[in-house]
A and B are shown apart, each in its own frame.
Chain A
């Protein structure tokens, strides 16, 4: 059933609908179907795998081993997923999930509908925005995009500069080098202070020493290749007026410039929030990972009991923990559905829970070591673009703030920041953090944008068909807050209704 590339013949109703076919979603589906649940998995990619195992079964590369053994490992899980009884609807954007378990998605410009008693959100992560001068110029892309283009289409860019911090950045540079692609320079913005601070977490990291060794191996590989590496860089800027011309930065107070028309930026990943936000589940600010996360219990269940969140969309956990969480969420929902006893679920979840606890110690170390510096998250330069869609700069936001835009929703109505097609994905975290600084209050008190359906772009034609098809959108979502943007009152995190 899985990886159905032609028009799918899906049923109308399921026990569990899983959004996202990465390690989290696939594992959840395998566990749930084994226990007899009727499961559908929806994903916007043409094939299963998610970010890490993208195209693992259909690599455009002659030797996909250059992508590393962590990548090839994905074949086992995609194979188990395909063998499972789960239905996989691929190439579809899920743009609405209702309180009644209704799931609406676009398939080749047509809106389709199904319902499920339980929902598992496994929509993964996105790269953290990198709001520095010039980051909006053509020629600047995220480093993850370089990897996406490599995995999906076998495309590479010679002579590019990679800048920022985090394991994914070094992985992508190493993957390029293994393919013989020239990298002009790696500008590493991990500050010295992070190395010192992370030492207090090193014991946790040693308990996952295989991963630590892998990480150090990547850096060695890059250094040995002769690629120019600048460490402890700050004040990163993209040069150029209409397109990228390179980067400038400082190391110990000395300025450097590197010319290149391709700049790839990366400073870690954050949960892909738009679905859990639109579902109205409770979120909280995580200071360790500097991101918003949906609040869940140990079964991954959110504040809306029929919604569980697994994998990187619940907070950054990495691929192996994402898979473990997917299984745990599925077990929890099997209990809710009456398909498994609680006792059996507890027994079956035990090993994954122990594994995740170990991984969390390693994660603390990684989060500490690769914590992106303030300067690159909270821009101070007035002309730096914060909202790419509506071209709102730090200056525009400051003005909006002075005029009463004290929380993200008020600021949005003052300035249009966050109102464009990306629905705040590229500016939301920056805005929360900037406002917290300006108000001199914790980010948790500042909050985030209120988001609603549709979570993705839908065409007029689709919406018009959708009005014919179903009364679909649930009242709680329709009625909430035309007034939200008129910005009265509380800036506190919204509680689930």
Chain B
């Protein structure tokens, strides 16, 4: 398990957030993934085929293993986001939408026309 060296934590102000419903205090500026690791809540998402638990791998925005739900919004990379007061973080169970939007099978124009079909009412 990860631990904090705690060196300068007292100098940073603290924020309150929840991780899978559990109340957690974390220093301002900490990444969501670090807060999860310290809380022992290391499952970020489930793998799309076998639904096995996955966890952060690269901690630098490359592997997308750390996708979680932040304030109800899925597909957020926990290693790139910083904690905020009142933030609600959850391990995520869905993966489909993400592959839709980033798949190189789908061009932005496709995505936009799909959007126009699906959420056409909201814009344009």
Contacts and interface: CB of A to CB of B under 8 A. Distances in A.
A62 B102 contact: no
A388 B55 contact: no
Interface string A11-47: 0000000000000000000000000000000001010
B104 interface: yes
Contacts of B112: 463, 467
A77 B82 CA distance: 25
Contacts of B38: 155
Nearest to A51: B60
The interface size bin for chain A is 35 or more
A167 interface: no
A457 B43 contact: no
Nearest to B110: A482
Contact of B99 (A140, A419, A458, A473): A419
A419 B63 contact: no
Interface string A439-480: 000000000011111101111100111011000010001101
A465 B123 CA distance: 8
Interface in A387-441: 388-391, 412-413, 418-426
A412 B103 CA distance: 11
Interface in B1-37: 1-9, 12, 27, 29-31, 33-34, 37
B69 interface: no
B101 A145 contact: no
B88 interface: no
Given A44-B61, A126-B60, A459-B73, A454 B108 contact: yes
Interface residues of B, number: 66
Given A388-B63, A467-B124, A485-B104, A140 B4 contact: no
A390 to B, nearest CB: 7
A157 B65 CA distance: 19
Contacts of B30: 153
Contacts of A418: 104
Contacts of B60: 51, 126, 144-145, 148
A413 B106 CA distance: 12
Interface in B87-124: 95, 97-99, 101-105, 107-112, 115-116, 119, 122-124
A272 B60 CA distance: 12
A155 B59 CA distance: 12
A258 B122 CA distance: 56
In this complex, which of B3, B47, B107, B116 has the most chain A Cβ atoms within 10 angstroms of its Cβ? Answer: B107
A3 to B, nearest CB: 13
A126 B58 contact: yes
B75 A421 contact: yes
B108 to A, nearest CB: 5
3 nearest A-B residue pairs (beta carbon)? A145-B59, A138-B55, A62-B7
12 contacts: A126-B60, A138-B43, A148-B58, A153-B30, A390-B49, A413-B105, A418-B104, A421-B99, A464-B122, A464-B123, A467-B115, A467-B116
